[in-house]
Amino acid sequence: MTLAWVTWIPIGLFVLIAATFITSYSIAVGLGHVNAFLPYISDTGTLPPESCIFGQFLNIAGFITCILAYIRYLQIRELNNRFRFTKCVQKLNRWGIWAGFLTGLGISMVGNFQETNDIAMHLVGANLAFGVGTIYFCIQCAISYKTVPITCNKLLCHFRLVLSIYCIIGYFGVFTFAYLSFNAKPGSIEDNLKWTSDMPGFGYHLASTIMEWLLALAFITYILTVTPEFRYIGIREPQVEVLISDEILARITPPNQSK
């Protein structure tokens, strides 16, 4: 039985992540936990009650990301069996699935380890999500170019290339400007949830947050680009074989009784 929902996995992930950020931002601003003008995404999900929604939704998003990466791996592997791509594609595909799994883990860690509770683990998760996620997108971009026109057309490849380049720039930009802003305005994370234009380092902070929101937008847009390719994937129900031991059979089968 072919499951038609495969096509909706990237669409659902796009909507889920976007809804998570919008919901947590709206609650955080509404309760006065952050200023409305371009806070960090993590700032909008670090205090309760928005942190509960932020963590729960990102847990689900991380899991779906792993599913998407696995299906993409199986897709390229199956196409390789039919069309015999280069060995480079095979290697990229193997690296890609591990990068995809680590990205999903990073997304979950960002939601579970809020910056005000455990900043070190939060940063590990952020680097896995954004850093390894960027590597995953670059790998998929390379695979796309090497499998044209079987998987996608060149226009989509060029679009993915643009997104990948920005992800690289955005990843380094976010952390570089964040480092400069916190050096200019030392203090705890709680003290730096609300930034105003008169604070030292505000320009660096603003550059960092703008690049982070654009980076998140690039990420979910990239995820959405695999939708056309997933239209041609069918997944069948797994075959389950039930094994019954002789010991169990002996329990349910009464022994022959002689008269």
The 10s digit of each residue's pLDDT in 101-131 is 999 999 999 999 998 889 999 999 999 999 9
User: What is the 3-state composition of the chain as percent helix, strand, coil, each rounded to the nearest 5?
Assistant: 70, 0, 30
Helix (H, G, I), strand (E, B) or coil at 38: coil
Section 41-48 average pLDDT: 92
Residue 254 banded pLDDT, cuts 50, 70, 90: low
Q: What is the pLDDT of residue 217?
A: 96
Q: Which residues contact 53 (CB under 8 A, 6 or more apart)?
A: 20, 23, 24, 27, 45
Express each pLDDT in 165-196 by its tens digit.
999 999 999 999 999 998 887 776 776 788 88
pLDDT at res. 4:
57
Helices 87-112 and 133-146, packing angle to 10 deg? 150
Alpha-carbon span 198 to 98, nearest angstrom: 44
Q: How many residues does the chain have?
A: 259
Q: What is the 3-state secondary structure (H, E, C) of 119-170?
A: HHHHHHHHHHHHHHHHHHHHHHHHHHHHCCCCCCCHHHHHHHHHHHHHHHHH
Tell me the pLDDT tens digit for each residue of 198-249: 888 889 999 999 999 999 999 999 999 999 888 888 777 778 888 877 777 7
pLDDT confidence band for 76 (50 / 70 / 90) = very high
- pLDDT, one tens digit per residue, over 127-167 is 999 999 999 999 999 999 999 888 889 999 999 999 999 99
Work out the percent of the chain whose per-residue pLDDT is above 70.
Answer: 94
Confidence of residue 2 (pLDDT cuts 50, 70, 90): very low
Average of per-residue pLDDT values in the chain: 90
pLDDT the model gives residue 186: 73
pLDDT at 1 over 50: no
d(C-alpha 45, C-alpha 58), whole Å: 10
State the pLDDT confidence band at 5, using cuts at 50, 70 and 90.
confident
What radius of gyration do the chain's Cα atoms show?
A: 23
Domain spans of the chain, in order of start: 4-252
The C-alpha atoms of residue 111 and residue 103 are separated, in whole angstroms, by 13
Per-residue confidence (pLDDT) for residue 17, from 0 to 100: 97
Tokens of 178: 């964040």
